[in-house]
């Protein structure tokens, strides 16, 4: 039986006050940890997906909606734009790459996106199995799609109209899986990719009866958005205002829209971090009250330990250890709670948008939180520990 074991036993011996201190601190740490993990997850997901694109061109509407739908694939499209707009951008000397996107259908809540193979290049998509689509109605599956839907090369399926389950099925046109992508931790993981023509083909079967001729049909062809990569900064400066002012379509800049988005989210994140800090401070007070109360109740015990040979420093260490152990227990429980919380929260975006928000690995800020908890534990136990060091043994034993 030594001082460390004794401090643990002392804490266990007061389950209510120790439990309350640990619970309070764990709530503070838990909320802080969840908030920074969410911020980190969102940041990294958005950064990974937006850094490859300088500008998004789509139908007029909310620019943030256009970015979220065309890049992150988590919102409804703002509408469609004529195919000619893509050709115009592709011919523009300031544009290095203009990638068409056509979407609006899904399969088991995973979006079917019609595009060309340069889309894979934006996110360094590599084939894990099979090959890239060559002709209409051939699809390549993102890594997560293949995993979740258990689809293999050669399998066929039909898409549904709309981006959520329950839309009309395009039963007369089946897609065939010709390739599966490696995991890229980008939006590619969540998509079913095919040619733009496939998307037209699926929809035109309904429309062709109404059209006067195939030529007229081809003239009316639309796409949903174009992802643009510029050759240099000149394009970034000149093209967006020109498109927004002189055409009936809109250009949105992902970097600018994401800053706007994070400005809004940032307020909520700062507020939650403040709440976590307040809880942590209250818990430090609780640790202090618990140890101070314990000191008053255990004065005779501490004097007794001095009689049996404990030095003043050992009593100081005993109370300091109790404070540190309380704060460490709160920290560890806080991390466990945060991981459980993140797991629960990640189920929602994974179901709705198929994004992973769970981050299990520790973040540098959690290292700082460990240091802060340690400091809180030490500060809260310092006064009781100093008082224990100065005990007058004879006086306490006489007054007992």
Partner 1 sequence: MLRIKNLQFHYPGKEPMHFPDIDLPTVDPLLVLGPSGSGKTTFLHLIAGLLRIQTGSIELDATALQDLSPRKMDAYRARHMGIVFQKAHFIQSLNCLENMLLVQNLAGKPSRRQEAQAILESLGLKTKIREKPHRLSEGEKQRLNIALAILNEPRLILADEPTSSLDDENCHIVLDLLKHVSEKNQSHLLVITHDQRVKETFSQHISL
Contact segment (CB under 8 A) with partner 1 among 209-217, 234-242, 372-380, 390-398 equals 390-398
Residue corresponding to tokens 């089946």: 174
Rounded CA separation 208/119 (Å): 28
Residues in Cβ contact with 68 at an 8 Å cutoff, skipping those fewer than 6 apart: 74, 75
Residue 14 CB, nearest approach to partner 1 (Å) = 8
Q: How far is the CB of 309 from partner 1 (least distance, A)?
A: 3
Find the shortest distance in angstroms from Cβ 293 to partner 1.
14
Closest CA to 151 of 108, 106, 117: 108
The least distance separating partner 1 from the CB of residue 287, rounded to whole angstroms, comes to: 17
The smaller minimum CB distance to partner 1, of residues 46 and 303, is found at: 303
Residues 161-220 that bind partner 1 (CB under 8 A): none
Q: Which stretch binds partner 1 (CB under 8 A): 4-12, 87-95, 97-105, 166-174?
A: 4-12
State the binding string over 8-47 for partner 1 (x if CB under 8 A, else -).
Answer: -xx-xx----------------------------------
Cα dihedral sign, 171-176-180-186: negative
Give the shortest CB-333-to-partner 1 separation in angstroms. 21
Find the helix packing angle between 15-50 and 312-352, rounded to 10°: 40
Confirm if 90 and 230 have CB atoms less than 8 A apart.
no
Nearer to partner 1, 298 or 354 (CB): 298
Mark the segment that binds partner 1 (CB under 8 A) among 74-82, 160-168, 215-223, 392-400: 392-400
Strand partners, 260: none
- Give me the half-sphere count of Cα atoms (radius 13 Å) on the Cβ side of residue 225: 31
In DSSP notation, 341-387 reads HHHHHHHHHHHHT-------S--HHHHHHHHHHHHHHHHHHHHHHHH
Torsion of CA 60, 62, 68, 73, to 10 degrees: -50
Considering only residues 310 to 349 of the shown chain, the ones binding partner 1 according to CB under 8 A are 310-311, 314
Closer of 66 and 310 to partner 1 (Cβ): 310
According to DSSP, residue 393 is labeled: H
Q: Which is nearer to partner 1, 374 or 393 (CB)?
A: 393
Instruction: Please give the C-alpha separations between residue 357 and each of 281, 297, 339, in angstroms, as whole numbers.
Output: 28, 47, 11
* Residue nearer to partner 1 on the CB measure, 306 or 354: 306
CB of 331 to partner 1, least distance (A): 23
Q: Evaluate whether 254 touches 236 at the Cβ level (below 8 Å).
A: no
Least separation in angstroms between CB 18 and partner 1: 11
> What distance in Å separates the CA atoms of residue 343 and residue 201, rounded to the nearest whole number?
40
DSSP assignment of 12-78: HHSHHHHHHHHHHHHHHHHHHHHHHHHHHHHHHHHHHHHTT-SEEEEESS-HHHHHIIIII--S---
Residues 116-135: x/- map of binding to partner 1 (CB under 8 A)? --------------------
Query: Looking at residue 253, what DSSP letter applies?
Result: -
Size of the site for partner 1 (CB under 8 A): 24
Rounded to a whole number of angstroms, the minimum distance from the CB of residue 292 to partner 1 is 17
Q: What part of residues 64-83 is at the interface with partner 1 (CB under 8 A)?
A: none
Q: At closest approach, how far in Å is the CB of 354 from partner 1?
A: 52
Query: Of 2, 264, 351, 364, which one interacts with partner 1 (CB under 8 A)?
Result: 2
Stretch that binds partner 1, among 118-126, 199-207, 220-228, 389-397 (CB under 8 A): 389-397
Cβ at position 10, least distance to partner 1 in Å: 5
Candidates 3-11, 24-32, 60-68, 248-256: pick the segment binding partner 1 (CB under 8 A): 3-11
271 binds partner 1 (CB under 8 A): no
Measuring CA to CA, how many Å separate 41 from each of 31, 44, 145, 354, 377?
15, 5, 20, 13, 30
Site residues (CB under 8 A) for partner 1, limited to 281-310: 298, 300-301, 304-310
Which chain residues interact with partner 1 by CB under 8 A?
Answer: 1-2, 6, 9-10, 12-13, 298, 300-301, 304-311, 314, 393-394, 397-398, 400
């Amino acid at each position: 039986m030594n001082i460390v074991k004794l401090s643990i036993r002392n804490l266990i011996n007061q389950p209510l006050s120790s439990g309350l201190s640990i619970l309070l601190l764990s709530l503070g740490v838990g909320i802080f940890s969840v908030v920074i993990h969410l911020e980190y997850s969102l940041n990294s997901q958005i950064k990974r997906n937006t850094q490859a694109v300088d500008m998004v061109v789509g139908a007029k509407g909310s620019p943030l909606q256009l970015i979220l739908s065309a890049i992150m694939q988590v919102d409804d499209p703002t509408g469609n734009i004529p195919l000619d707009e893509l050709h115009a951008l592709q011919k523009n000397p300031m544009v290095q790459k203009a990638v068409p996107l056509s979407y609006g259908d899904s399969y088991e809540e995973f979006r079917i996106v019609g595009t060309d193979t340069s889309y894979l290049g934006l996110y360094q998509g590599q084939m894990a199995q099979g090959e890239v689509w060559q002709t209409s109605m051939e699809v390549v599956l993102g890594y997560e799609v293949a995993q979740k839907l258990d689809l293999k090369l050669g399998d066929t399926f039909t898409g549904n109209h709309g981006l959520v389950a329950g839309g009309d099925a395009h039963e007369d046109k089946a897609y065939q899986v010709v390739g599966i992508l490696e995991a890229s931790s980008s939006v590619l993981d969540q998509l079913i990719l095919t040619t733009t023509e496939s998307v037209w083909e699926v929809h035109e079967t309904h429309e062709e009866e109404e059209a006067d001729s195939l030529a007229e049909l081809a003239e009316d062809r639309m796409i949903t958005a174009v992802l643009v990569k510029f050759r240099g900064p000149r394009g970034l400066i000149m093209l967006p205002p020109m498109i927004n002012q002189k055409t009936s379509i809109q250009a949105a800049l992902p970097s600018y829209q994401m800053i706007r988005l994070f400005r809004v989210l940032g307020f909520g994140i700062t507020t939650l971090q403040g709440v976590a800090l307040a809880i942590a401070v209250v818990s430090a007070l609780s640790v202090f009250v618990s140890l101070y109360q314990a000191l008053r109740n255990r004065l005779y015990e501490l004097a007794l330990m001095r009689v049996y040979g404990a030095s003043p420093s050992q009593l100081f260490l005993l109370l300091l250890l109790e404070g540190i152990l309380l704060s460490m227990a709160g920290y560890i429980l806080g991390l466990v709670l945060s991981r459980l919380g993140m797991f629960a929260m990640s189920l929602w975006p994974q179901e709705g948008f198929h994004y992973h928000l769970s981050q299990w690995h520790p973040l540098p800020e959690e290292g700082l939180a460990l240091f802060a908890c340690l400091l809180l534990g030490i500060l809260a136990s310092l006064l009781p520990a100093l008082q224990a060091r100065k005990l007058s043994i004879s006086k306490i034993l006489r007054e007992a």
